[in-house]
Amino acid sequence: MSIGGWAQTSNENFGIEFILCTAQPEDRAIELLAMAVYYNRAGKLGLGHTVPIGEPWLPGSSCDHFLISLPYPFGGDLQTCHVGDRHVDFLWLLPITGAERTWKVSSGLEALETRFDEVGLRYWQIDRASAV
């Protein structure tokens, strides 16, 4: 989980922190979280956006994009908090394949999330197959 990313949008009443899950501790996860916070420094990222990583998120993976999603695996209590009078959303960096991103663009976010539910997406598996 990123810490302090919400402060990047200090001139706004809201901010974002990012969550990234791995099956085991990974130094690469820290790098990817920092990358997302840096890219969001002007408030560019939001729910439903996709971000190309430019390479597999972890070695051996075909996932080379992130879908910025609600933190479904952790329940609604993690989604929002307040720091003073600022609203902070915790959003999930869900690793996805290029094909899944293309399908999201053509069919919509809800369709992609429904497909993930249908296949029982194992988001933590580095070598998972594309859901589409």
User: What are the residues facing 89 on neighbouring strands?
Assistant: 16, 80
pLDDT value, residue 57:
95
Domain boundaries, the chain: 5-119
pLDDT value, residue 45:
86
pLDDT above 90 as % of the chain: 60
Segment 11-25 shows an average pLDDT of 83
Tell me 16's DSSP state: E
Q: What is the pTM of this model?
A: 0.86
Q: How far is CA 122 from the centre of its chain?
A: 15
Contact yes or no for 37/29 (Cβ under 8 A): no
pLDDT in tens, 27-54: 999 999 999 988 887 668 889 999 999 9
Is the pLDDT at 80 greater than 90? The verdict is no
Query: Per residue, what are the HEC states of 50-82?
Result: EEECCCCCCCCCCEEEEEEECCHHHCHHHCEEE
